[in-house]
Amino acid sequence: MKITTPEVVGAVGAARGTVPSVESAVKDWAGNKPEADVAVVEALLESGRPLVTTPNWNQVETTFTQYSGEGFRGSKTAEELLATIMNSAK
């Protein structure tokens, strides 16, 4: 059995609440959810746009997470943090 069939994706969505990535499985996901919640998610799916990131986005996010505490504590400026992040993602 394949794990990416609409049936399997729908069953996982119904059991765990994860909105399925397969359009035909949304009905299975919606089966036991409150109507208002389903309406919101369907509106977002119809009008939403994907977040397109750079190929090295994982490195950007990881470095930001690693060093952001220094910005909150004031031990580094925003400019210093941005330089660190940009240099790590080259």
Q: What is the pLDDT of residues 24-37, one digit of tens each?
A: 888 888 988 899 99
Q: Is the pLDDT of residue 3 over 80?
A: no
User: So what's the pLDDT on residue 37?
Assistant: 93
Whether 36 and 66 share a structural domain: no
Taking the alpha carbons at both ends of the chain, their separation in whole angstroms is: 41
- Its domain, for residue 78, covers 57-88
Residues sharing a CB contact under 8 Å with residue 54, sequence separation 6 or more, in sequence order = 60, 89
User: So what's the pLDDT on residue 78?
Assistant: 95
User: So what's the pLDDT on residue 15?
Assistant: 87
CA angle 50, 32, 23 (to 5 degrees): 30
**One-letter amino acid for residue 53 of the chain:** T
Segment 50-65, tens digit of pLDDT: 888 889 999 999 999 9
Whether 43 and 65 share a structural domain: no
Q: What is the domain count for the chain? A: 2
Q: Is 23 buried (19+), middle (13-18) or exposed (0-12) by CB count in 10 A?
A: exposed
pLDDT level of residue 1 (50, 70, 90 thresholds): low
DSSP conformational letter for 42:
H
